[in-house]
Amino acid sequence: MISQKMKYALKALMVLADEKEEGGQALRIEEVAKRAGVPKRFLEHILLEIRNSGVIASIRGRSGGYVLVKDPETIALSELLRLIDGPMAPLPCLSRRSYERCEDCVDEETCRIRKVFAEVFWSYLVLIESLTLADMLRSNDKATQVFAA
């Protein structure tokens, strides 16, 4: 399950992607929050995290604000999920980037809990790693179907 913070991040990124497609003007945080239907006070912190990852940039000055600097086709939803929500694995021993051995595990090779969750998790990864922000921007595609479920 994705967090509310992640939902806010995705909504804001879709607003910035739409703006980039329409003309590329920088949007002030108030405008992003309004268009995305997201509380401004939460969005400030979220946009800073995303900016620090290089997906968006902030522009200072009178006509400043936030702009999407990467192409939506290159912004992987899996990377955004990891950035905003942290590791996606259901068990720490299944995480690629934040691997930790389970404290109560005697043998990972024979752990039935790990085996069952590994199968589910790898299937999830194959799907989520194939999706980009561009998929979310399209109206009749696999991302729309996945997130509507």
Mean pLDDT of 13-42: 91
The pLDDT of residue 49 is 95
Give residue 34's domain range. 4-68
Paired strand residues for 56: 68
Give mean pLDDT, residues 44-53: 95
Residue 22 — pLDDT band, cuts 50, 70, 90?
Answer: confident
45 falls within a domain: yes
What confidence tier does 141 reach under pLDDT thresholds 50, 70, 90? very low
- Give the closest residue to 27 by CA, choosing from 63, 61, 56, 52: 63
Domain membership flag for residue 138: no
Distances (CA, A) of 85 to 1, 16, 78, 81, 105: 10, 20, 10, 5, 25
Q: What is the pLDDT of residue 143?
A: 42
- Do 85 and 109 sit in the same domain of this protein? yes
* Tally of domains within the chain: 2
Amino acid at 41: R
- Verify that 33 and 80 share a domain, yes or no: no
